Amino acid sequence: MADLRLGGVFAVFILAALVVLQLLVVLTYDDQSPTASFSKSFNQWKSRANEGSADDIFLVGAGKADVTGPVVEVDFNGYATLDQLGTGLKQRIYSRAFIFADPNKPDDTFVYLVLDTLAGDTAVRHGVLQGLVALGGAYARYGEHNVALTGTHSHSGPGAWMNYLLPQIPTRGFDKQSYQAIVDGAILSIIRAHENLAPGRLSFGTIDVEDANVNRSPYAYDNNPKEEKARYSANVDKTLSLLRFDRQSDNKTAAVLTWFPVHGTSMYNNNTLVTGDNKGVAAYLFERSISGDGRFTDDAVIGFSQANVGDTSPNILGAWCEDGSRKECRYSDSTCGGTNEACHGRGPFFREKDNGAKSCFEIGRRQYSKAKELYERMDTSPIKLTDGSAVSSFHVYQDMNGYKFPSPFNSTILETCPAALGYSFAAGTTDGPGAFDFTQNSSSPSEGNPLWQVARAFVHQPTPKQQECQGAKDVLLDVGTLTEPYAWAADIVDVQVLRVGQLFIIISTSEATTMSGRRWKEAIAANAKSQLSIPDPQVVLGAPSNSYAHYVTTEEEYFIQRYEGASTLFGPNTLAAYINLTLTYLPYLGGASDVAQLPTIQPGPSPPINTNRSLSFVPGVLYDGAPIGKSFGNVLLQPGSGSYGPGDIVNTTFVGANPRNNLHLESTYASVERKGNSGWEVVRNDRDWNLEFLWKRTNTFLGHSEVTIRWQIENEYYSVDNPTPLQAGTYRMRYYGDSKNILGQISSFEGIGGTFTVKAS
């Protein structure tokens, strides 16, 4: 997580964590583990093995489902600031599932999930796997060994769903509703992908995106060997990789999956509207652009997956001091006048007073534009994936506490450490700086403040052995040894690689920096050639995935101890350990006859699942009330009487109720309707970037609230490649709400705003 730092709430929540044992009886959830809410009434998958047997035919399915959790009164995940409490919705977030299988042996399969969330997570993955078990039947082929759950790393989604205590602290613990929305949506996307399984062909390609990411820790990157850096044109990966699936029956494209590294931090840490950040925008634009396009299936799914994202930033204009000095932040430690609070990265439209929204759209648009260009190019010059029988995966759990192994670089015996975070972790990054006097490229707080040394000892003083193991990192929080009231961070991580044809997908639990990702991918490619006899392997990396294990840097970057190095949990040998583990199990992705000679993979120690014992300081919804003389859904503020055009903003305000009463999954809270010849037609809803749903509490005691639906009418910029552009006419807004009375009963209602006129230009 780009900025999961303790910041301004560090002292408060450390104290809270020390007393939580006394609160367990009151604040824990019931004994029933959260599980998927689906029944077994689903369409059984039908074998399609006889439809295709050519060497280049694979079985592929893709599906998409809503995972938008509570959009108000729950803290966002990522920036770790209690000020970022949700107040509404700018864009719904989704799970996109991609299933690959051998058409002749459909049990040889794997699932790759792309969620518009901060990261993959141990508890969420556990919930998804439980749901697949409950479905039974053909879904039994999807399990621990072949399901990969990745996050796009958006920092503007509802939090309070993660497994470990440390990431729960800045989101006030665990919220079952938030958790369940992600689990249920992920399962539904798998069901839809499974029901869409069909034989077809896969092609792969790459294209450079020059203007959508920068390195936010170049000082650490510079510490890598000169000869290694000289092999690359930039200090971040500029390559977007794309996998395309064309159905055999009609040659229509049913799925597109891309990988490109850029942090989901375009929306700033003062944004309180839920979005999928720049990758959510990219997917939205691509999916919008193909509506009615005969080259695609009607339900084609487009996924923009994350890659070696660790030291990347979408704030491409660099980091500047927002203190009036008009200076760039200091190169070595991203400070302004010795402190980090004023140092902020700037997106392409940083001057807009919109909490990063236009910059977010622009970075998403640039990814979409290049992906669409590459898609078109691949009509004539793709890399065809072959060997439809080569669909395989492996997965094991590895305890990283004291793992000893031979280095994949020079065969010396190395060891990893119990999980720990250094002082620069608390400094945050230029995408979201921390508070107090922590700085990056630092191994201790400022000399004038002994409070942090006391705080460190108050939590748990690291042992000399642990400090020695962590090397350059001066330990602030030895989270791997903290188990009360439950585990603070992951010591047990997922080790997983997927293969389809000659494409290998590394599933990284940690945010790999640019160079660590390059080394890892190169190691897999080299060994795929030497061990598996694949002449031209293609390798991508998906992260952060499965269980969130913070960061992984190169050893050289680790020595500098900027944010990414301080957040590399298991010490300077973490990358070497990850590469060693994936290479150890790589032979299991070979041919069937070779794999049959190998010993059975042992699954390893299972990580703890903390959903049933997680603490929650997230208050529930007590009741809703309407002002005297008003009813829920009544209009409080109508649009103006004049006409509106592209670029204008139209608002309608209603007597509202708490949107946590009903998440409206697979539906909408708000819509814009246009009057046609046969009645009112919905033309915008929650999925659209330019329509915002805003909720405001107006009287806590009486339960009063207001909802404003705000539409920024799309101009040419926001209408990029839209096949159904804006039409002139008469419009109105509709609000779909649900109120809760004092007895806890929930009732649905609607509000319809007054009409207004829109001119097309």
Supply the residues annotated as catalytic.
313
In the chain, what is the straight-line distance between the N-terminal and C-terminal CA atoms, in Å? 42
Check if the beta carbon of residue 278 is closer than 8 Å to that of residue 364: yes
Supply angle C-alpha 67, 70, 75, rounded to 5. Answer: 110
Q: Residue 217: which residues within 8 A CB-CB, separation 6 or more? A: 311, 429, 440, 513, 557, 560, 562, 563, 564
Q: Which of 28, 163, 174 is nearest to 487 (CA)?
A: 163
How far is 244 from 201, CA to CA, in rounded Å?
A: 8
Check if the beta carbon of residue 182 is closer than 8 Å to that of residue 124: yes
Residue type, 493: V
- How many residues make up the chain in this entry? 761
Check if the beta carbon of residue 365 is closer than 8 Å to that of residue 720: yes
Buried (b) or exposed (e) across 735-750, using 16+ Cβ within 10 A? bbbbbbeeeeeeeebe
How many Cβ atoms sit within 10 Å of the Cβ of residue 650? 20
Check if the beta carbon of residue 172 is closer than 8 Å to that of residue 48: no
Q: Is 654 helix (H, G, I), strand (E, B) or coil?
A: strand
Check if the beta carbon of residue 728 is closer than 8 Å to that of residue 626: no
How far is 610 from 164, CA to CA, in rounded Å?
A: 7
Check if the beta carbon of residue 347 is closer than 8 Å to that of residue 464: no
How far is 19 from 12, CA to CA, in rounded Å?
A: 11
Pairing state between β 253-259 and 239-247: antiparallel
Place of tokens 């170049």: 218
Buried (b) or exposed (e) across 40-69, using 16+ Cβ within 10 A? eebeebeebeeebeeebbbbbbbbbbbbbb
Helices marked H in 247-390 — which ranges? 277-289, 357-377
Supply angle C-alpha 222, 225, 231, rounded to 5. Answer: 90
Residue 388 phi, psi (nearest 5): -60, -15
Q: Which of 388, 499, 503 is nearest to 48 (CA)?
A: 388
Residues annotated within a binding site for Zn(2+): 153, 263, 511, 551
Q: Residue 420: which residues within 8 A CB-CB, separation 6 or more? A: 462, 466, 470, 473, 475, 476, 477, 478, 479, 480, 569, 571
Q: Which of 60, 371, 376, 45 is nearest to 201 (CA)?
A: 60
How far is 40 from 449, CA to CA, in rounded Å?
A: 59
Q: Is 225 helix (H, G, I), strand (E, B) or coil?
A: coil
Crossing angle (nearest 10°) for helices 122-135 and 176-195: 50
- Distances in Å between the Cα of 537 and the Cα atoms of 496, 503, 506, 515, 527 are 17, 6, 13, 19, 10
Residues annotated within a binding site: 153, 263, 511, 551
The token pair that represents 166 in the structure block: 């440390």
Q: Is 33 helix (H, G, I), strand (E, B) or coil?
A: coil
Buried (b) or exposed (e) across 474-501, using 16+ Cβ within 10 A? bbbbbbbbbeebbbbbbbbbbbbbbbbb
Rg (CA), the chain: 25
- Distances in Å between the Cα of 674 and the Cα atoms of 289, 681, 717, 756 are 21, 5, 22, 10
